[in-house]
Amino acid sequence: MMKQLTKSFFLYLGLFLAFALVLSCIQLYVNANALFGSKSSDANYWLTMSKTITPDNIGRKELIGFNDKDIAELKTWKEVKNLYPVVSNDFKVSADGGDFIPFYTDMYLEAVDNDAIDISDLSEFKVRDNVLPIIISREYLNLYNYGFALNQGLPQITEDFAKKIEVNINLRLKEKNLKYTGKLVGLSDRIHSVLVPKQFLDSINATQDFSKAHQNIFTRVLVKVSDANDQDLIEKMKQKGYESNQESLRSAKIKSKLFLVLRTIAMIGGFIFLLCVFMIINFIKMQFLEQQEAVSIKYSLGYSPRKMVSSISRFFSINLGIVLVICLGLLSVGQYYLGTSAISNGLLPKFIHIYLWPMIIIVPLVVYVVVNWLIYRWLVKSWKF
Q: What is the pLDDT of residues 66-89, one digit of tens each?
A: 988 999 999 999 888 899 999 988
* 384 within 8 A of 374, measured Cβ to Cβ: no
Please give the average per-residue pLDDT across 379-384, as a whole number.
Answer: 63
Please give the average per-residue pLDDT across 111-133, as a whole number.
Answer: 91
As a whole number of angstroms, the distance between CA 233 and CA 350 comes to 32
Write out the DSSP string of 108-145: --EE--GGG---S--TT-S-BTTEEEEEEEHHHHHHII
* 18 within 8 A of 276, measured Cβ to Cβ: yes
DSSP state of 147: I
- The model's pLDDT over 18-40, given as tens digits with 9 standing for 90+, comes to 788 788 878 887 777 776 655 55
Looking at per-residue pLDDT, the higher value among 90 and 134 belongs to: 134
Whole-number pLDDT of residue 270? 77
The whole model's pTM is what?
Answer: 0.59
Mean per-residue pLDDT over the chain, rounded = 81
What distances in angstroms separate CA 37 from CA 34, 49, 338, one per listed residue?
A: 6, 20, 18
Whole-number pLDDT of residue 247? 61
Whole-number pLDDT of residue 292? 67
Whole-number pLDDT of residue 180? 93
The 10 Å CB-count burial string (b at 16+, else e) for 72-98 is eebeebebbeebbbbbbbbbebebbee
The model's confidence at residue 144, banded by pLDDT at 50, 70 and 90, is confident
To the nearest 10°, report the CA torsion of 304, 305, 307, 309. 170
Residue 255: is its pLDDT beyond 70?
A: no
Q: Is the dihedral of CA 33, 34, 36, 42 positive or negative?
A: positive
Residue 177 dihedral angles phi and psi, to the nearest 5°: -105, 145
* 236 within 8 A of 79, measured Cβ to Cβ: yes
- CB within 8 Å of 45: residues ≥ 6 apart: 37, 224, 225, 226, 227, 228, 248
Burial of 148: CB neighbours in 10 Å, binned 0-12, 13-18, 19+: exposed
Residue 317: is its pLDDT beyond 80?
A: yes
The number of beta carbons lying within 10 Å of the beta carbon of residue 215 is 10
Looking at per-residue pLDDT, the higher value among 328 and 377 belongs to: 328
Q: Is the dihedral of CA 114, 118, 123, 124 positive or negative?
A: negative
The model's confidence at residue 248, banded by pLDDT at 50, 70 and 90, is low
Looking at per-residue pLDDT, the higher value among 39 and 273 belongs to: 273
The model's confidence at residue 187, banded by pLDDT at 50, 70 and 90, is very high
Whole-number pLDDT of residue 37? 59
Give the 3-state secondary structure of residue 102.
strand
Please give the average per-residue pLDDT across 257-270, as a whole number.
Answer: 75
Counting Cα atoms < 13 Å in the Cβ hemisphere of 263 gives: 6
Please give the average per-residue pLDDT across 331-341, as a whole number.
Answer: 87
